[in-house]
Amino acid sequence: MKIRTRIAPSPTGPLHMGNARTALFSYLFSKKEGGDFIVRVEDTDKERSEPKWERDALENLEWLGLNWDEGPTFTKDRGSFGPYRQSERTGIYKEYLEKLLKEKRAYWCFCTTEELDAQRQDLVSRGETPRYSGRCRGLSIPEQEKNRSDGKSAVIRFVIDPRKITFKDIIREEVSFDMALSGDIVIAKNMETPLYNFTVVIDDELMQITHVIRGEDHISNTPKQILIKEALLFKGKIQYAHIPLLLAEDRTKLSKRHGDNSVTKFREEGYLPEAIVNFLVLLGWNPGGEKEIFTLKELIAEFSLDRVHKGGAVFNLQRLDWINGFYIRQKNTKELAEMIVPYLKEAGLLSQNGEEKEFHLHIQKSQPYTIQETGEGVSLDFLADVVALYQERLKKLSEITQLADFFFTKELEYEKELLSWKGAENTAIIASLGRSQEVLSSLKEGEWKKEKIEEMLLLEAEAAGDRGSLLWPLRVSLTGKKASAGPFEVAAVLGKEKTLARITQAQEKL
């Protein structure tokens, strides 16, 4: 039988990292077994569900590379299991609701909030578990009908069989719950508004889901769902795997309370999808060996639920940063150049031809970008040269604007004291910059290459005895920064004219 797993995001907010990890585990498990991965949108909560959040979920799953075989916007084959939005399945749920009602496995409950509170208080005061008393269960169908036609507000409750339910969890072995401790649960607000524990059972059955892989926070819902499934006489065999939770620094479940953990936010900050996938999969799963860098493809081959942990895992940003930096270093610079364009644009450093003002129009095709401040046209190759200098320094793409802004500005702003190497006086600095200028001026246009620049400057620097006395002021004059890429490569990318101009500007500051 074909393995079928699903991820069931509810579009009431952005897809977050916890959802993404659950989706990843589900995806990897099904793909490893040659099965199908399904996206089902759980949008029964009409007030809080919004199309934009569905879009957010689908876009991010796609961005992470977790391509689904069936889902609301795409279906591989005939799509006989759709629709994939719960809001489009109310007719289906209604049938099953009617069936349960007719067979008295469910009933209308007319208890008011006040009455329920009172019942609860009573049980608590006697030291018992607060749960629904079952008061409305005895109502005959005509009584129920009468109450309803009287317009009394009501919900539909499912009769919980007070048995011990034991199920096998792939990760936790046997788990059991004594359902005698649970009252009858609400499965629908009305015929058109079924609730989670009910819809999930129907959808998993009808969509022929074989493995439910979800967060541990759902483990206590499982016995309820099993009871509903039995009441509906569903035949599908479902295996459960409750994966450990993603935790924040304070070791509680990662949530909005801990800040924005949406996938979109990480994407916008410049985390790479392969880094996020690699990072998330190692939270709760380990491959057995000491290898820790994995592509999605490798993960499909190696993933196994047997090696999933039971305890929750803290979401450790430093480790994500390290993995992300690693993947950034693997990219070729052309690719990276394209990836940093949005950040440079966002920061107002760069614009793209044809997108804005008409003064861009005369710029050549080979120079599709324009430096905002100077109006100069630049090529992708130029951006590749820039990003190459910072490739090994980037933890995330967004950092490029802070690190390499000096390539995109007319005037550098920095304190003149920064030019001083080991407390050197102004006259010494001016002289040092003068020597750099002299050396660099002597280079012909064709010689303006990093290697040649380095060779010539190093010669001069060695003569000075202390390299820093020459190189530090030079580097600061070009970048305006305490920390940056080296002066040779910066000069090479900057070009002769700008390099010399910046050295002069530095001297004038002193």
Partner RNA sequence: GGCCCCAUCGUCUAACGGCUAGGACACAGGAUUCUCAUUCCUGUAACCGGGGUUCAAUUCCCCGUGGGGCCA
Pick the closer one to RNA by CB: 82 or 486. 486
Binding mask 99-138 for RNA (x = CB under 7 A): -----------------x---x---x--x-xxx-------
CB of 423 to RNA, least distance (A): 13
Question: Would you count residue 302 as binding RNA (CB under 7 A)?
Answer: no
- Looking only at the bridges linking them, the beta strands covering 369-371 and 313-314 are unpaired
Of 95, 98, 192, 250, the one binding RNA (CB under 7 A) is: 250
Question: Would you count residue 312 as binding RNA (CB under 7 A)?
Answer: yes
CB of 389 to RNA, least distance (A): 9
CA Rg value for the chain: 32
Annotated catalytic residue 256: yes
Beta bridge partners of 285: 308
Contacts 24+ apart (CB under 8 A), 190-193: 190/154, 190/155, 190/156, 191/94, 191/97, 191/98, 191/156, 192/90, 192/94, 193/44, 193/46, 193/90
Residue 306, helix vs strand vs coil: helix
Which residues, including other chains, have CB under 8 Å from residue 438's CB and lie 6 or more apart?
Answer: none
Of 73, 153, 220, 295, the one binding RNA (CB under 7 A) is: 220
154 with 109: CB under 8 angstroms? Answer: yes
Question: Would you count residue 175 as binding RNA (CB under 7 A)?
Answer: yes
CB of 95 to RNA, least distance (A): 26
Of 126, 251, 357, 365, the one binding RNA (CB under 7 A) is: 251
Which residues, including other chains, have CB under 8 Å from residue 398's CB and lie 6 or more apart?
Answer: 268, 269, 270, 343
Pick the closer one to RNA by CB: 265 or 393. 393
Which window, 100-108, 167-175, 346-354, 493-501, contacts RNA (CB under 7 A)? 167-175
Question: Would you count residue 388 as binding RNA (CB under 7 A)?
Answer: no
Of 172, 189, 345, 498, the one binding RNA (CB under 7 A) is: 172
SS (H, E, C) 86-146: HHHCHHHHHHHHHHHHHCCCEEEECCCHHHHHHHHHHHHHCCCCCCCCCHHHHCCHHHHHH
CB of 194 to RNA, least distance (A): 16
Question: Would you count residue 176 as binding RNA (CB under 7 A)?
Answer: yes
406 with 481: CB under 8 angstroms? Answer: yes
| Cα(144)–Cα(106) distance, integer angstroms | 12
CB of 73 to RNA, least distance (A): 29
CB of 363 to RNA, least distance (A): 32
Whether the link from the prior residue into 223 is cis, omega within 30° of 0, is no
Binding mask 41-80 for RNA (x = CB under 7 A): ----------------------------------------
DSSP characters over 32-91: HTT-EEEE-B----TTT--HHHHHHHHHHHHHHT---SB-SS-BSS--TT---BGGG-HH
Question: Would you count residue 13 as binding RNA (CB under 7 A)?
Answer: no
Question: Would you count residue 200 as binding RNA (CB under 7 A)?
Answer: no
Token pair belonging to 293? 């860098």
Which window, 29-37, 44-52, 244-252, 370-378, contacts RNA (CB under 7 A)? 244-252
Question: Would you count residue 347 as binding RNA (CB under 7 A)?
Answer: no
32 with 304: CB under 8 angstroms? Answer: yes
Task: Name the DSSP class of 424.
Answer: -
139 with 147: CB under 8 angstroms? Answer: yes
Binding mask 443-472 for RNA (x = CB under 7 A): ------------------x-----xx--xx
Question: Would you count residue 425 as binding RNA (CB under 7 A)?
Answer: no
CB of 422 to RNA, least distance (A): 9
Of 311, 423, 446, 465, the one binding RNA (CB under 7 A) is: 311
Question: Exposed (0-12), middle (13-18) or buried (19+): which is 362, by Cβ within 10 Å?
Answer: exposed
Question: Would you count residue 304 as binding RNA (CB under 7 A)?
Answer: no
Question: Would you count residue 486 as binding RNA (CB under 7 A)?
Answer: yes
183: nearest Cα among 160, 203, 200, 214: 160
* Rounded to 5°, angle at Cα 135 from 129 and 136: 135
Binding mask 487-506 for RNA (x = CB under 7 A): xx------------------
Beta bridge partners of 211: 5, 239
Catalytic residue among 102, 152, 256, 310: 256
Pick the closer one to RNA by CB: 69 or 302. 302
342 with 387: CB under 8 angstroms? Answer: no
User: Residue count at the site for RNA (CB under 7 A)?
Assistant: 65
Which residues are tagged catalytic? 256
Given the rule CB under 7 A, which residues bind RNA?
116, 120, 124, 127, 129-131, 172-173, 175-178, 181, 216-217, 219-221, 244-245, 247, 250-253, 282-286, 288, 290, 292, 307, 309-314, 316, 318-319, 321-322, 325-326, 329, 392-393, 421, 461, 467-468, 471-472, 475, 482-488
